[in-house]
Amino acid sequence: MKAALYARVSTHDQQTLQLQIKTMQEYIQKRGWETVLCIEDTASGVSDRKKRERILVAARKRQVDVIVVWKLDRWGRSLVDLMNSLQELTALRVGFVSITEAIDLTTPSGRALAGMLAVFAEFERDMLRERVKAGIAHARAQGKPHGRPRSAALKAKQVKALFAQGYSKSKIAQELGIGRTSVRRLINEGTD
């Protein structure tokens, strides 16, 4: 099998990068796999990871059969990101191995685990959605406003006055610190 290695540290001063690479290479050698891509990345958990994307592109092009990481948190930026990427890899029939957590999606039991993780992630999203809906309903029942504040609507008189003075919609938006779409909407209110 053709393997891609992904090693990441959050900052340049961390010393585990070579440890990650060495551990993954030993694992791949024991499995009899071939390393075709090895990415070393220095990026924080929330930053855009262009180097990681190179591995996903290789997976989409069927240039790799399995992706190997030292630890799950080295691969995923968040639980949602992790689950989305694992689901994509599963759909592409590309394996995924996390050495530290002993997760191996190249095996039937590993793929079953990935399915269960996906179910729990979907359950978590559904529960969050239900809590948000319940919170909105409660706020509305209490008579509290919901959504973005009507900041642009509070400036309707100013918008119309500036427009009457010959200001452009862009200039009005800039002067009042609101969006041009809001300016257009406020000018068109009452003229429809």
Residue positions annotated with a catalytic role:
10
What token pair was written down for 135? 């919170």
Separation CA 86–CA 24 (nearest Å)? 19
- For residues 108 and 116, the answer to whether their CB atoms sit within 8 Å is no
**Structure-block tokens of residue 138:** 């409660």
C-alpha span between 120 and 116 (Å, rounded): 6
Question: Residue 116 and residue 24: Cα distance in Å, rounded?
Answer: 25
CB atoms inside a 10 Å sphere around CB 82: 18
Q: Which residues contact 23 (CB under 8 A, 6 or more apart)?
A: 70, 99
